[in-house]
């Protein structure tokens, strides 16, 4: 217990919805301070994010919450995910009115300890107070991440061969992601297959990329060569159109010139705010990678 009548404890799966509510309050406040419109309908957003929150509740490396002793109400939380030697801070949120009071430092120290992870990663919001914590947590901003949203349109054809991926293809996806990002998603693949359509892309019979498409969020996408992303993104857009999905969005590293310019040419727009890719050291080839969306995990 802290001296402010706040208890910090390990979270349990039962805290998932309360943590989401903290996230919504913190994000709405951040948008307000940045003079941006906050248009999220919490119940609808929860319906889309609940599977990810439930997955992270079961498979997170660390998850700590801060709650008021007087009413047991959550006022903040921080959570991390570990994939081999990649240690990622997935979320860090504190409700308005409790920020900048030392609580953030205590949560970060528990959920993202400096001694964990050879590679340390955060997909950070642009909140200046949080950014200061992330630099103290031994990460440095490398490049912005852009949410690129658009209305899917039909396509005629692409240059690559497309096949639906199954769990039997996990080794193929794993090999591509290890080459592109340098790390494996391990047991995340099984969860991704449950939540999103998965596709493999071949050139002359050789697997050269993969992509995931969901009704709520798209990605990840990875290709062995940057130029291959045009065909992959076209196919995912066309598939979204076939499914009647009204809008799709891709979380694109802004150093990914091929994906950014392709999506802009297709009428996609960059939606504020940008996130920052922060790590303790450079890794991966992010000129040929599109992240998981919404931008909570890599």
Q: Could you give the 3-state DSSP secondary structure of residue 213? A: strand
Amino acid 63: pLDDT: 98
Q: Are residues 255 and 181 in the same domain?
A: yes
Q: Which residue has the higher pLDDT, 104 or 4?
A: 104
Is residue 102 helix, strand or coil? coil
> Is 293 or 36 the better-scoring residue by pLDDT?
293
What's residue 100's pLDDT?
A: 56
Domain total of the chain:
2
Residue 10 shares a structural domain with residue 123: yes
Residue 97 has pLDDT above 90, yes or no: no
- The arithmetic mean of pLDDT across residues 241-256, rounded, is 97
- Judge whether residue 64 has pLDDT over 70: yes
CATH of the domain at 16: 3.40.630.30
Please check the confidence at residue 99 and state whether its pLDDT lies above 70: no
pLDDT value of residue 42: 87
In a domain, 171, yes or no: yes
Query: Domain residues for 189?
Result: 148-272
- Tokens for 115? 């001694």
The answer to whether residue 234 sits within a structural domain is yes
What is the SS3 assignment for 228?
helix
Helix (H) and strand (E) counts in the chain = 8, 13
Q: Do both 92 and 197 map to the same domain?
A: no
* 267 assigned to some structural domain: yes
| pLDDT recorded at residue 257 | 98
From 138, 167, 189, the end of a domain falls on: 138
Tokens representing 298 are: 């890599």
Cβ atoms of 64 and 105 closer than 8 Å: no
Within this chain, do residues 125 and 155 fall inside the same structural domain, yes or no?
no
Same domain, 86 and 157: no
Residue 235 lies in a domain: yes
**Co-location of 133 and 171 in the same domain:** no
CA 133/CA 100 separation, integer angstroms: 10
Co-location of 87 and 182 in the same domain: no
Does residue 262 have a cis peptide bond before it, meaning omega lies within 30 degrees of 0? no
Write the pLDDT tens digit of every residue in 35-53: 888 888 889 999 999 999 9
Tell me the pTM: 0.94
R_g over Cα of the chain: 19
Tokens of 42: 């919490």
Q: Which two tokens stand for residue 18?
A: 């309360």
Give the C-alpha separation, 295 to 217, whole Å: 9
State the Cα–Cα distance between residues 15 and 22, nearest whole angstrom. Answer: 11
Reference 6, options 88, 85, 104; nearest CA is 104
At 240, give phi and psi (nearest 5°): -60, -40
Give yes or no: residues 183 and 237 share one domain. yes
Strand runs labelled E in the chain: 6-10, 62-68, 74-83, 86-94, 119-124, 140-150, 161-164, 197-203, 206-213, 218-223, 248-253, 269-279, 289-290
Tell me: the pLDDT tens digits for 166-222? 999 999 999 999 999 999 887 899 999 999 999 999 999 999 999 999 999 999 999
**Domain contains 202:** yes
Contact assessment for residue 140 and residue 125, using Cβ atoms and an 8 Å cutoff:
no
3-state secondary structure of 57: helix
Helix (H, G, I), strand (E, B) or coil at 279: strand
Co-location of 115 and 160 in the same domain: no
Structural domain ending residue among the three candidates 109, 138, 167: 138
101: its two tokens: 């009071």
Distance CA 185, CA 140 (A): 23
Laid out side by side, the sheet with 161-164 consists of 161-164, 197-203, 206-213, 218-223, 289-290
**Residue range 229-258: mean pLDDT, rounded:** 98
Residue from 199, 196, 189 nearest 160 by CA: 199
Same domain, 16 and 49: yes
Asked if residue 258 is part of any domain, the answer here is yes
We report the CATH number of the domain holding residue 268 as 3.40.630.90
Do 15 and 102 sit in the same domain of this protein?
yes
From 24-28, 108-112, 169-173, the region with the lowest mean pLDDT: 24-28
pLDDT at 33 over 90: no
CB-side neighbour CA atoms (13 Å) of 152: 24
Instruction: Tell me, yes or no, whether 14 lies in a domain.
Output: yes
User: Distance of CA 49 to CAs 19, 54, 133, 195, Å?
Assistant: 12, 9, 26, 11
> Which tokens belong to 156?
């005629």
Assess whether pLDDT exceeds 60 at residue 232.
yes
Q: Is the same domain home to 195 and 233?
A: yes
Give the pLDDT confidence score for residue 187 in this predicted structure: 81
Of 74, 104, 138, the one marking the end of a domain is 138
């Amino acid at each position: 217990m802290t001296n402010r009548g706040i208890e910090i404890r390990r979270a349990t799966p039962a805290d998932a919805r309360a943590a989401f509510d903290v996230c919504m309050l913190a994000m709405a406040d951040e948008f307000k301070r940045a003079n941006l419109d906050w248009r999220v309908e919490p119940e609808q957003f929860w319906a889309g994010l609940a599977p990810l929150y439930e997955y992270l509740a079961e498979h997170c490396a660390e998850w700590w919450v801060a709650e008021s002793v007087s009413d047991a109400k959550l006022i903040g939380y921080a959570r991390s995910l570990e994939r081999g030697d990649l240690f990622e801070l997935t979320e860090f949120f504190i409700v308005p009115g409790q920020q900048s009071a030392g609580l953030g430092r205590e949560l970060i120290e528990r959920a993202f300890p400096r001694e964990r992870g050879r590679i340390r990663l955060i997909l950070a919001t642009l909140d200046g107070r949080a950014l200061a914590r992330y630099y103290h947590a031994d990460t440095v901003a490398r490049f912005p991440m852009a949410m690129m949203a658009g209305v899917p349109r039909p396509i005629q054809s692409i240059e690559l061969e497309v096949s639906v991926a199954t769990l039997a293809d996990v080794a193929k996806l794993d090999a591509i992601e290890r080459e592109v990002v340098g790390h494996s998603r391990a047991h995340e693949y099984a969860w991704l297959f449950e939540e999103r359509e998965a596709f493999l892309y071949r050139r002359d019979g050789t697997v050269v990329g993969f992509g995931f498409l969901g009704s709520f969020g798209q990605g990840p996408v990875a290709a062995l060569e940057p130029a291959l992303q045009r065909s992959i993104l076209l196919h995912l857009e066309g598939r979204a159109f076939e499914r009647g999905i009204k809008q799709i969005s891709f979380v694109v590293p802004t150093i990914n010139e091929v994906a950014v310019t392709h999506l802009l040419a297709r009428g996609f727009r960059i939606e504020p705010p940008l996130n920052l890719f922060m790590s303790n050291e450079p890794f991966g080839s992010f000129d040929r990678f599109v992240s998981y969306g919404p931008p909570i995990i890599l």
